[in-house]
Structure formats: C-alpha cells, structure tokens
A and B are shown apart, each in its own frame.
Chain A
Amino acid sequence: MQNKNNMPGGGGGLDQPRSSEIWRDRRAGLLMAGIGAFAAVTGARYGIGTLSRIGPGFFPTVLGIVLVVLGLAIAFTATLAQDHEAGHGHAAQDAPVDWRGYVAIVASMVLFIVLTPVLGLVPGTFACVFTAAMGDRKMTVLNSAVLAAVISVAGALLFIWGLRVGLPYFGS
C-alpha cells in the first residue's frame, strides 16, 4: 500500500487494512445502502404489481433491496473484502483531494453552462478552458490564456463551422 500520510496505528501490509481504509469502506457501503433504500422506497410507490404482471416499481425495488444488502455487506465486511489491488496505481484514492484543481474544474463547467447561451461559444469556451487550466499549479495566467484562446478558436470552428452545432460564435 502506498501510504503517503502514515496513519497512526496503521501502516500494516496487505493483511492488515489501515483503519482509514476500513472507514472508507464503511462510508462506501452506507452510501450504497442509502441509495438502495431510496430506490426501493421510491420504486414501491411506482407500483410493484404482481409476479405475472410486474409493475414499473418492481425492478427498481428489487434492485434497491439488492443494493442495500450489498452496501451493508461492504460496510461490515470491510476487513474481508479488501481491495487487494488498491496499492497498484491507486494511490490517488488515498491522496487528499486537490481542492484547487477540483474547484477550477467544477467552476469551468459551470461557466460554460452559464456563459455560452448568453455570450456565445467562443467566450464560453475561453472561460471554460482558462478556468480549468488555472486549476493546475504549474499553469501561469499567460499560458492558460494562450491555451484557452487556441482551443476556443479551433473548437468553435470545428464545432460550429465543421459539425454544425447550433450555437453562435458570439452573442446569444
């Protein structure tokens, strides 16, 4: 296991999952169980029907129940169901979230959604690419701007002129 921030009391090999991993699986299992419960309850409202004529709620309800069972199994066999391959190239799931990049990527898509219908594809793309690029710690403002300019011009030409996507270059 590639453990970057050594957890106290952890540091075991493959046999002894660290406590952080157990908690990760607990959360994971409960998340699934929660989604399953929601699906089952909502599905039941759609009408389960009978076995010979199953209703629209039957399939979601069954799946929801299965998901609850699987989720609970994940949560409470966390030590057994260890992801043996977690150490191979999956260090990322243990590394802390890179918030700068995270916020930049989410913001860039939001900007694209908000700006493009109002200002047109070129400004929308510029905002999207520029914001996303600024999420990388090695990117300078100038580099991001150049990249964004290149992509917005090339992208707009490719999609509007080449592929006839129904968006204006500029304006709404």
Chain B
Amino acid sequence: MEAIDGLIHGFGVAFQLQNFAACLAGVFIGNVVGVLPGLGVMTAISMLLPLTFAMPPVAAILMLAGIYYGAQYGGAICSILLNLPCHPPHAVTCLDGYPLTLKGKGGTALGVTMLASFLGASFGIVLMVFFAPYLVRIALNFGPAEISSLMLLGLLAGSTLARGSKLKGMSMTCLGLLLGTMGTDINTGLQRFTFGFPELDDGLEIVALALGLFGVAEFLKSVNAVAPVSTSATRIRIADLWPSRSELRTAIVPALRGTLVGSLCSMIPGTGPTIASFMAYGLEKRVSRRPQEFGHGAIQGVAAPEAATHAAVQGDFIPTMSLGIPGDAVMALLLGALVIQGITPGPQLITEHPDIFWGLIASFWIGNILLMVMNMPMIGLWVKLLSIPYRYLYPSALFFVCIGVYSVRSDMFSVGTTLAIGVFGHVLLRHGFHPAPILLGFVLGQRFEENLRRALLLARGDLSIFVTRPISLAFLLTAVLLLGAQLYFALRRRDEIQLPPSASPILDE
C-alpha cells in the first residue's frame, strides 16, 4: 500500500524534533490567534510567513498549516463562550453554543466541540491519505489545456462561492490575476506594470500583498471599532469539559453526519469550511425530531457544524497539495509559501517532495492531538486572552507587519508597497469587496498564463483545444454549471440562517 508506506514515512518526518516543534508552535499560535479578538487567520499566517523563510521547507509548511487548523479550535471557543462569530466557519456554532454557555454548560459544549472536531479532522485526513495520491495519478496526465481549464474552474469556484456578491468576487479574482502579471514576463523579459520601479521587476511581493490586504486594511477598518469583550460570564473548569454519557450519545451521530457534510463540501471546489458548517447545521435541524430545541442550546447544533468545519478544513488541503490549485485564500498563501521555498506546487509534489506531503499529513494528526491535549488545561488562559483589548494588539501587529515585510528582501520599498496596498484594500473593503479572491488570483496568475500560452502554442492558436480534449471539456462544463447554479440561487432567495449581530466588525477570510 503506497498510502500506508507514505504515512509511515510521514510520521517519521513529522516526529523529527525540528518539525514537531514547528507543528507545536503552529497550532499554539493558531489557537491563540483564533481566540484573540480582531485578528484573523489570514492576518496571522501572513504575519508569520516572513519568519518561516529562514526555516527548512517542511518545518515552514507544517507550522503555517498548524496555524490554520489551530485557529479553528480557537474560533470555536470565541463562538461558544462569547457569542462572537470571530471566524466565519464558527459563526453558526454561536447559535447553540452560546445558549449552552448561558445554561452553565459552556464547558460541555467545548468538550463536545473538541471531540467532534477531532472526529471531523481525522476523517478529513484519512480522505486525503487515500484520495490525494489517486488525484495525483490522474492529474499527472494533464496537459497545459487541462491545467488551464482546471485553473479557470478553481478560480471561478473560489470567487463565486465566497460570501457576498458574486460579481464582486469575480472582479477581485481578475484583479488578483492582473496583480500576478506585474514584473518581468518570463517568456519575453518585458517589464509589465512596474511603473518604472526596479523594485517591482520581480513582481509584487506576496507578503506585501497579503499583509496589505489582511493586515493594514483590516487595522484601518477595525481601529476604534472593536468593542471590548466581557468575559465575566465564562468561568470554565477542566472538569466541566467532559460531556456526560447521554450527551455524548446525542452528539455522536450529528458529529458523524457533520463530518460527511464537511468532507463532501471539501470535494466541491470552492466550498470551504464556512459553507460546510452552515449546511451541517441546516441538515441537523431538518433531520432532528425536536427542531424547536435548536437555537436554545442543542448539543447537536454544536457537534455537527464543528465536525463539518474541521473535516472541510483538512479536505481543503487535498486540491492544494495534490493539484496545486488552492480552494481559498489561506491555501493560496500556503502555496505562495511553498513557491518561496523553491518548491513548485502541482501533482509532481507528492513524488518530488514526499517529505512535505506525507509529513504534512502526519503532522495534521499530531497537531490535532496536541490541540486536544493543549486545550483542556489551557482553557482558562484562552478566556483571559479574549479580554486583551484591541488597542494593544493592532499597534504591535503593525510593527510585525513592517519588520516582516522588510525582512523578506531587506528593503523598505516593500513596506511602502504594503502601506499602499493596505490603503487600497481598505477602499475595497468599504465598497463591499472581499479581498480574499485577490490572493487566489495572484498565486495562480503566473501558472495560469503560462499554461494558457503553452496550450495555445501546442494547438497552433486553435482555441477549440479546450473543448475537444474531454477532461478539459469536463472542467469547463463544470464551470458553466457552477455559473448557472449561482445565477439560479441569485434569482431565488435562499432561506438564510440568521446570525447574531457581531459585536465587533471581524473578519472574513
């Protein structure tokens, strides 16, 4: 069994001291960031990205990935204890998690969340172990035409399935692709959109872009607008975390259903954890014999969406690592980190860099177990962290942004770029644009153009190559289907789950 051998190799890699430490640091930082009010996952990963440049590739990726799934645990704590939908995937957990806290069962809700999360994550990982190598085998036969079509599908899915207006999402993707063309053209050596700055010859720095959009722009939006958080109602003891046997029995089937929903969602390009958690909650409410309990502290309403979120978070890594096509902005940033480390993402990754692929998978398990173990005794610390005011956070974070961007090329020009992008990003935010697809387009841009060029070169300029090759046609048809479905849903109002209004204007990935 190729997968089992790979996994054993992966555990060997992940248990090396350096990598284990990176994983631990990642999940810890992620958990802290998930809890801290006003800091999003994207902000955190982009802030730490420059620090990983000095690390070896495996450790860097394990740490960055750890931040991502670690933050999911932190986000759940935020939702359940404080009714704050800090992280979109966990917004729906507020609905029943917070009522449970009010009933004095907040500890139980957290305990169930941890178990459900672990279940969901484990299933997502198993899926990746067996599904990704299979995907890779198919994808290795792709020519430039197939890759172009697949990228088009991925870009379309990433931009239309995000929250908010679809047109705006697509325009953000286009903008990202355009930003990706900045710098020296690989084929001709021509300088594009450098505006006469030699510093832009190598293109826009991804760290500057990410920190501008998800750091500076967010700070500009949130300064003086993040409400202080009261944690007085939330005293949690470790003993409270263990759910009773009957509570476990109520939670287990919804958690399994949630896991399935989450895994399914991760298969559909572009449907990330947020959609998964909402779907899982909706499904639970529909199949329940007592739907009136939902919203008043039903343990199922916590277990199902949390399991779904974590299954989808792990599933997100499948297309990213096996095809090199990121599903959302977080994955785009991880791919960006790989590229900076000199590793080409794509189907050849698994054979050329088995350490990274299998090490990452093994570290997921280690990281999730670490998170479980860590969360039990540290719950009190998390609650204290929740009350750190934003006015101490953002000035410190701003320094991190400046020095982080500077350190990439030892160049103040990048810091200036970050500021400019931040101001522009704030304009975008104020006009109802969600900047996440920009990063998606930016990361894929160069490879997309490259493959498009090659495909047309091979076909001697015949555009029909994209529809005469069956796999490419299938991708394009899926893309059309996706657009059609979007149009259908846009015209037909969907029944929305009402969320509690967010006390602070935080954050969408």
- Residues on B with beta carbons closer than 8 Å to the beta carbon of A55: 188
Also in contact, A101 and B395, with CB within 8 A (given A54-B452, A67-B171): no
Also in contact, A101 and B412, with CB within 8 A (given A28-B432, A86-B164, A106-B419): no
Determine whether the beta carbon of A25 is less than 8 Å from that of B193.
no
- Residues on B with beta carbons closer than 8 Å to the beta carbon of A27: 431
Q: How far is the CB of A9 from chain B (nearest CB, A)?
A: 20
Measured in the bound complex, the distance between the Cα atoms of B164 and A104 in whole Å is 30
Determine whether the beta carbon of A31 is less than 8 Å from that of B174.
no
Determine whether the beta carbon of A90 is less than 8 Å from that of B505.
yes
Give the bracket for the number of chain B residues in contact with chain A.
Answer: 35 or more
Measured in the bound complex, the distance between the Cα atoms of B446 and A56 in whole Å is 12
Q: Kindly state whether residue B167 has any CB partner on chain A within 8 Å.
A: yes
Q: How far is the CB of B285 from chain A (nearest CB, A)?
A: 19
The 10 closest A-B pairs by CB, nearest first: A52-B461, A101-B223, A89-B502, A51-B461, A92-B505, A28-B431, A136-B391, A132-B395, A56-B185, A133-B395
Determine whether the beta carbon of A98 is less than 8 Å from that of B432.
no
Determine whether the beta carbon of B403 is less than 8 Å from that of A155.
yes
Partner of A59, one of B181, B219, B391, B429: B181
- Residues on B with beta carbons closer than 8 Å to the beta carbon of A136: 223-224, 390-391, 394
How many A-B pairs with Cβ below 8 Å?
221
- Residues on A with beta carbons closer than 8 Å to the beta carbon of B499: 88-89
Q: How far is the CB of B487 from chain A (nearest CB, A)?
A: 11
Name 8 extra pairs, CB < 8 A, besides A46-B190, A97-B220. A31-B427, A36-B174, A63-B174, A66-B174, A67-B178, A109-B402, A117-B412, A132-B399
- Residues on B with beta carbons closer than 8 Å to the beta carbon of A92: 221-222, 225, 429, 505
Q: Kindly state whether residue A2 has any CB partner on chain B within 8 Å.
A: yes
Measured in the bound complex, the distance between the Cα atoms of B432 and A156 in whole Å is 38
Within residues 130 to 172 of chain A, which ones have a CB less than 8 A from any CB in chain B? 130, 132-133, 135-139, 144, 147-148, 151-152, 155, 159, 163-167
Q: Kindly state whether residue B407 has any CB partner on chain A within 8 Å.
A: yes
Determine whether the beta carbon of B395 is less than 8 Å from that of A91.
no
- Residues on B with beta carbons closer than 8 Å to the beta carbon of A116: 406, 412
Q: Mark A29-73, 1 if CB is under 8 A from B, else 0.
A: 001100110010011001100111111100110011011001101
Q: Mark B314-325, 1 if CB is under 8 A from A, else 0.
A: 000000000000
Determine whether the beta carbon of B410 is less than 8 Å from that of A105.
no
- Residues on B with beta carbons closer than 8 Å to the beta carbon of A59: 177, 181, 449, 452
Determine whether the beta carbon of A89 is less than 8 Å from that of B456.
no
Determine whether the beta carbon of B171 is less than 8 Å from that of A32.
yes
Determine whether the beta carbon of A132 is less than 8 Å from that of B193.
no
Partner of B403, one of A90, A105, A159: A159
Measured in the bound complex, the distance between the Cα atoms of B454 and A54 in whole Å is 9
- Residues on A with beta carbons closer than 8 Å to the beta carbon of B406: 116, 165, 167
Measured in the bound complex, the distance between the Cα atoms of B463 and A19 in whole Å is 44
Also in contact, A100 and B224, with CB within 8 A (given A56-B192, A85-B164): yes
Measured in the bound complex, the distance between the Cα atoms of B321 and A29 in whole Å is 35
Q: Kindly state whether residue A5 has any CB partner on chain B within 8 Å.
A: no
- Residues on B with beta carbons closer than 8 Å to the beta carbon of A52: 456-457, 459-462
Measured in the bound complex, the distance between the Cα atoms of B191 and A47 in whole Å is 12
Q: Kindly state whether residue A113 has any CB partner on chain B within 8 Å.
A: yes
Determine whether the beta carbon of A129 is less than 8 Å from that of B398.
yes
- Residues on B with beta carbons closer than 8 Å to the beta carbon of A135: 223-224, 395
